[in-house]
């Protein structure tokens, strides 16, 4: 079976590490190069069990990556770093950008399969959604036509969401016995969800756990709605979706850790006030980033959507 030649740029961060873990065991992608200035010269197998023994981290700039002529390149780079790589790569090369650089660019397909699967099939430029945005968009999209004003989304992420570069939001001591609010107005994921799913006001927070997101979303409805009808709406919207699960109870963030799917539940309703609350959880490094990027790659190349993702190792 012919395999697709793929390269990864940016393997130092947590998302890059998760991408490596998935791609190293993917049956249809051949990982040709892994670009990382920090780990340059080291064998990938030293950091990841099961990686090809001859694969070495390399320091590769945009032109060097383009010269490898891979069929696909995943850019797991910091925000505002993707442009020279995109400019250097050929139009035929499938690019999945995990950063926020192209989520507002109409020339790129927004990579949330549950909302735009048809456009992802055969796409060559894919903007992978943000982690908070994935959780909030999955809640907002099914009810957007019913809303009487923006949804209010209270999001709590593990500190891996702040990346590996030291900052107050991933300082374990600063977070100990603490909950840290930040960017409470105008967060990029707030604008992202509003653009692609429906109006939302996002209030992000960081907590002392490492990975996972809990997103509690308050919905102001135009008309009263019973809880059973609200749940049925979500069940209909996500029927057959392999990586979205619907539950009656509000899901717990610890149950989402290390798993590639989102869970939506709670479905509390105050009909007199035309108000509902829905909760979503997911792993910010997986459905919020790496496994979703692979889901998008599978769609772009016409592979079964869960290739390399399911069955998920325990």
Which positions are catalytic? 131
Rounded to whole angstroms, the Cα distance separating 166 from 265 reads 34
Exposed/middle/buried for residue 286 (C-beta within 10 Å: 0-12, 13-18, 19+): buried
Whether 58 and 34 have beta carbons less than 8 Å apart is answered as: yes
Q: Which residue has the tokens 């772009």?
A: 300
Rounded to whole angstroms, the Cα distance separating 283 from 173 reads 22
The strand pairing partners of 152, in sequence order, are 201, 218
Q: Which residue has the tokens 């509003």?
A: 194
Whether 18 and 43 have beta carbons less than 8 Å apart is answered as: no
Both tokens assigned to 224: 């009263």
Rounded to whole angstroms, the Cα distance separating 217 from 300 reads 31
- Cα separation values, 253 from 88, 160, 259, 265, 291, Å: 40, 14, 11, 12, 17
Whether 271 and 224 have beta carbons less than 8 Å apart is answered as: yes
Rounded to whole angstroms, the Cα distance separating 306 from 314 reads 16
Cis peptide, bond prior to residue 311, ω within 30 of zero: yes
**41 — alpha (psi -120 to 50), left (phi > 0) or beta?**
left
């Amino acid at each position: 079976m012919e395999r697709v030649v793929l390269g990864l740029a940016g393997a130092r961060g947590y998302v890059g590490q998760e991408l490596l873990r998935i791609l190293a065991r993917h049956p249809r992608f051949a990982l040709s190069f892994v670009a990382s200035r920090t780990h340059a010269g080291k064998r990938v197998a030293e950091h990841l069990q099961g990686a090809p023994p001859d694969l070495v981290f390399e320091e590769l700039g945009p032109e060097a990556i383009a010269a490898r002529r891979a069929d696909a390149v995943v850019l797991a780079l910091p925000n505002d770093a993707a442009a020279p790589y995109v400019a250097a790569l050929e139009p035929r090369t499938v690019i999945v950008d995990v950063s926020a650089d192209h989520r507002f660019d109409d020339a790129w397909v927004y990579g949330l399969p549950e909302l735009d699967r048809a456009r992802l099939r055969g796409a060559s430029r894919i903007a992978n959604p943000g982690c908070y945005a994935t959780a909030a968009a999955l809640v907002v999209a099914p009810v957007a036509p019913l809303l009487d004003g923006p949804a209010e989304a209270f999001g709590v992420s593990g500190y891996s969401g702040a990346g590996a570069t030291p900052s107050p939001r991933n300082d374990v001591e600063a977070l100990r016995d603490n909950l840290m609010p930040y960017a409470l107005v105008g967060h990029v994921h707030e604008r992202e969800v509003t653009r692609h799913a429906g109006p939302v006001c996002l209030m992000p927070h960081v907590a002392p756990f490492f990975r996972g997101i809990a997103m509690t979303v308050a919905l102001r409805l135009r008309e009263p709605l019973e809880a059973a009808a609200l749940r049925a709406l979500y069940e209909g919207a996500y029927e057959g979706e392999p990586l979205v699960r619907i539950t009656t109870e509000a899901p717990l963030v610890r149950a989402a850790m290390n798993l590639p799917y989102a869970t939506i539940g709670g479905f509390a309703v105050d009909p007199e006030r035309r108000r509902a609350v829905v909760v979503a959880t997911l792993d910010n490094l997986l459905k919020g980033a790496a496994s979703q990027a692979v889901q998008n790659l599978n769609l772009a190349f016409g592979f079964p959507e869960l290739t390399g993702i399911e069955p998920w190792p325990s």
